[in-house]
């Protein structure tokens, strides 16, 4: 089973802070990075940084799961670009805390496709509606 690296790419510092929050609960995680696209940043610079991370992971025989905030934004467009170029990459949109917790809990226990299913299910189960009368 290949090691699975996590890369979170979002607008602003959302993903960076999300990863910090998950690590506050679970402890520091290996093979986990977060990048943010700040207002005025060069998208090509971010794409180059993402490709560098993917290539490093491939050299170490790691699959990379990229998480982005929303489909259609610059972070997801960068992720789609590297997804087309690298067979070792998977992309998931709508990153949230339950999703990352599940990935870090299960990534060494199951194969990638099963992990993605577990992670998406955990993410959806974390969304609830409460009403009080």
pLDDT, residue 1, reads: 72
What domain range is 30 assigned to?
3-96
Domain membership of residue 106 (yes or no) is: no
Residue 133 lies in a domain: no
Measured from the Cβ of residue 36, the count of other Cβ atoms closer than 10 Å reads: 18
The three-state DSSP-derived secondary structure of the chain is CCEEEEEEEEECCHHHHHHHHHHHHHCCCCCEEEEEECCCCCHHHHHHHHHHHHHHHHHCCEEEEEEECCCCCHHHHHHHHHHHHCCCEEEEECCCHHHHHHHHHHCCCCCHHHHHHHHHHHHHHCCCCCCCC
- Would 48 be classed as within a structural domain? yes
Domains of the chain: total:
1
On whether residue 51 sits in a domain, the answer given is yes
Residue 31 lies in a domain: yes
pLDDT in tens, the chain (133 residues): 789 999 999 999 999 999 999 999 999 999 999 999 999 999 999 999 999 999 999 999 999 999 999 999 999 999 999 999 999 999 999 999 999 999 999 999 999 899 999 999 989 998 999 999 8
User: Which domain CATH number covers 77?
Assistant: 3.40.50.510
- pTM assigned to the model: 0.94
Q: Is residue 22 part of a domain?
A: yes
In a domain, 9, yes or no: yes
The per-residue pLDDT for 126 is: 87
Q: Is residue 130 part of a domain?
A: no
């Amino acid at each position: 089973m290949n090691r699975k690296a996590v890369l979170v790419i979002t607008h602003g510092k959302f993903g960076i802070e999300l990863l910090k929050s998950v690590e506050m609960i679970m402890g520091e995680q290996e093979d986990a990075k977060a990048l943010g696209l700040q207002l005025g940043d060069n998208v090509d610079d971010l794409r180059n940084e993402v490709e560098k991370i993917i290539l490093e992971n491939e050299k170490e025989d790691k699959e990379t799961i990229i998480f982005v905030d929303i489909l259609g934004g610059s972070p997801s467009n960068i992720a789609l670009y590297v997804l087309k170029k690298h067979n070792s990459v998977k992309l998931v949109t709508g990153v949230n805390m339950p999703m990352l917790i599940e990935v870090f809990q299960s990534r060494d226990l199951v194969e990638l496709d099963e992990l993605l299913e577990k992670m998406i299910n955990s993410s959806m189960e974390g969304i609830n509606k409460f009403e009080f009368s």
